[in-house]
Amino acid sequence: MTKEQISNYTRRISEANATQMITILYEMTLDYLRDAKKSLLERDYDTFERELTKAQNCISELMRSLNTKYGIANTFMQLYIFSKRHLVSAGIRRDVGFINDVINIFVKMRDCYRELEKLNQAASVITGAQQVFAGLTYSPGHLNEIVTDPYTNRGYRA
């Protein structure tokens, strides 16, 4: 994942509600899987294993975020377990097919959560985060972001 992607995810997380957080996790997982796939095809096995581990960590976070009050959580859990097993197999066998299977599952799940985002207008999960303003200022052709921090202590007092 590039520094620009990391910065973009960091900004989005600071502004996201609970549903958007799950969508972001799906997108991060997909980015890590695509990077792992690319590394495997280039025979860069160290990067492949690192990216695969990051994708598995994202799936673990999705597993922890399940609300077990609802019956569908069991279905999601089974999909996550299947995906993690497939990624373990991909790591052992170094087979892109396993990664492609997981990518196909996660693309569909991400798209479902994008639809749910339209229904959930809840406020951001993170309070006291810095606000980010973006616009074209004093740099023709470049997007400048300005971060303001109305709460210098972000809720913590020493």
Per-residue H/E/C for 4-47:
HHHHHHHHHHHHCCHHHHHHHHHHHHHHHHHHHHHHHHCCCHHH
Q: Does 154 score more than 60 pLDDT?
A: no
Domain residue spans in the chain? 3-119
Architecture of the structural domain at 3-119: Up-down Bundle (1.20)
Better-predicted residue by pLDDT, 127 or 81: 81
User: Measured between alpha carbons, how far is 138 from 135 in angstroms, rounded to an integer?
Assistant: 10
pTM of the shown model: 0.77
pLDDT in tens, 92-112: 999 999 999 999 999 999 999
pLDDT in tens, 9-58: 888 888 888 889 999 999 999 999 999 999 999 999 999 999 999 999 99
